[in-house]
């Protein structure tokens, strides 16, 4: 069965620091990849997605992610975080139309 690993449980950064959150998945076939964000007390919202094509994907709010097939990775990046980026971030993967499999999430705390 497909599985998703998010390496960092909790990341604490100062404002303006750069962010990279790791995500690895287990399946070697054709996958769709997603990053979701959950702000405190809210539901999940899509940040960005990769289905095919350019492996560097740009999403909302200045986030981007790079799909590296050889490493089974889809890491999330942002050059300069803001306090408002404080949230929990989830990586997810599926194959075709199968249900999404989520990682356990990474909590990001941005301090002034």
Partner 1 sequence: NAGVTQTPKFQVLKTGQSMTLQCAQDMNHNSMYWYRQDPGMGLRLIYYSASEGTTDKGEVPNGYNVSRLNKREFSLRLESAAPSQTSVYFCASTGGEQFFGPGTRLTVL
Q: Does 96 bind partner 1 (CB under 8 A)?
A: no
Half-sphere exposure of 106 (CA within 13 A, CB side): 25
**For partner 1, which stretch binds (CB under 8 A), given 21-29, 42-50, 57-65, 75-83?**
42-50
Strands (E), the chain: 4-5, 10-14, 19-21, 24-25, 32-38, 45-50, 56-58, 64-68, 73-78, 87-94, 101-102, 106-111
| Site membership for partner 1, residue 27 (CB under 8 A) | no
97 near partner 1, judged by CB under 8 A: yes
Nearer to partner 1 by Cβ, of 53 and 97: the residue is 97
Binding test (CB under 8 A) with partner 1, winner from 49, 62, 66, 95? 49
Residue 104 lies near partner 1 (rule: CB under 8 A): yes
């Amino acid at each position: 069965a497909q599985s998703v690993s998010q390496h960092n449980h909790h990341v604490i950064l100062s404002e303006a620091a750069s962010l990279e959150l790791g995500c690895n998945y287990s399946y070697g076939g054709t996958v769709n990849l997603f990053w979701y964000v959950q702000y405190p007390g809210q539901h999940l919202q899509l940040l960005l997605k990769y289905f095919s094509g350019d492996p560097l994907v740009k999403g909302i709010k200045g986030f981007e992610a790079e799909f590296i097939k050889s490493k089974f990775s889809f890491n999330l990046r942002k050059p300069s975080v803001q306090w408002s980026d404080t949230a929990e971030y989830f990586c997810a993967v599926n194959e075709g139309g199968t249900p999404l499999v989520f990682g356990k999430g990474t909590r990001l705390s941005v301090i002034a």
